[in-house]
A and B are shown apart, each in its own frame.
Chain A
Amino acid sequence: QQPVQSPQAVILREGEDAVINCSSSKALYSVHWYRQKHGEAPVFLMILLKGGEQKGHEKISASFNEKKQQSSLYLTASQLSYSGTYFCGTESVANFGNEKLTFGTGTRLTIIP
């Protein structure tokens, strides 16, 4: 079963902040985040592991709440280059070691000047 992402789409002005959520019904040991620009391949942003670790990458950071099986991606002071579709990918504890990575339905982020 796919993780659920919210919102499905969001439009922001340059400089505004955004939060994208990813929720799973399964116990997770990792959450991946990727960004896909129109017509291009998805590109890796970061991985969060079981343990509630928060990671950062420039003005993009993420958290993982393993008790709630949720992850959130935070984009602060958004730039035009942040536009694209964001996907979370999850690996469940039950499938640990079998390499299966399941993606969510995606969140389309549009940044306008």
Chain B
Amino acid sequence: DVKVTQSSRYLVKRTGEKVFLECVQDMDHENMFWYRQDPGLGLRLIYFSYDVKMKEKGDIPEGYSVSREKKERFSLILESASTNQTSMYLCASRGSQWGSPSEKLFFGSGTQLSVL
């Protein structure tokens, strides 16, 4: 079975802390994504990466950064956590679109982050 694994299901942090959310996929996918999910707002794209060390801003990158040192691992970093970053964070991955018009996403189970 294909798998996207997020390191924590629940995380509680204090305002101003540096927070790392980790995501690992075992499908050798080129592309990885970080979304946040909030009631009424759906899934909003924070950052994505199409290759090792490559990254692109999504629709709401402010307050976040990412790191992709290895193909299977994509980390989301909150440099200084704030209460408005309390949310469910979903990681996803998919294969390259070369040779295929579009590929489906595989999602992790999510990390519910609470910033107090």
Contacts and interface: CB of A to CB of B under 8 A. Distances in A.
Interface residues of B, number: 27
Interface residues of A, number: 28
Contacts of A102: 45, 59
Interface string B44-70: 110010100000101100000000000
Interface in B43-102: 43-45, 48, 50, 56, 58-59, 90, 94, 97, 101-102
Interface string B8-43: 000000000000000000000001010100001111
B48 A103 contact: no
Given A41-B108, A41-B110, A103 B45 contact: yes
A81 interface: no
Interface stretch (A13-21, A55-63, A66-74, A92-100): A92-100
A41 B101 contact: no
A109 to B, nearest CB: 14
Contacts of A44: 104-106
B109 interface: yes
12 contacts: A2-B42, A32-B105, A41-B107, A42-B43, A44-B104, A89-B105, A97-B97, A99-B50, A99-B56, A99-B97, A100-B56, A103-B35
Given A2-B59, A106-B42, 18 more contacts: A1-B59, A2-B44, A5-B42, A8-B40, A29-B102, A30-B101, A41-B110, A42-B90, A42-B107, A47-B102, A47-B104, A99-B56, A100-B58, A101-B45, A102-B59, A103-B35, A103-B43, A106-B43
Interface of A: 1-2, 5, 8, 29-30, 32, 34, 40-44, 47, 49, 87, 89, 91, 97-106
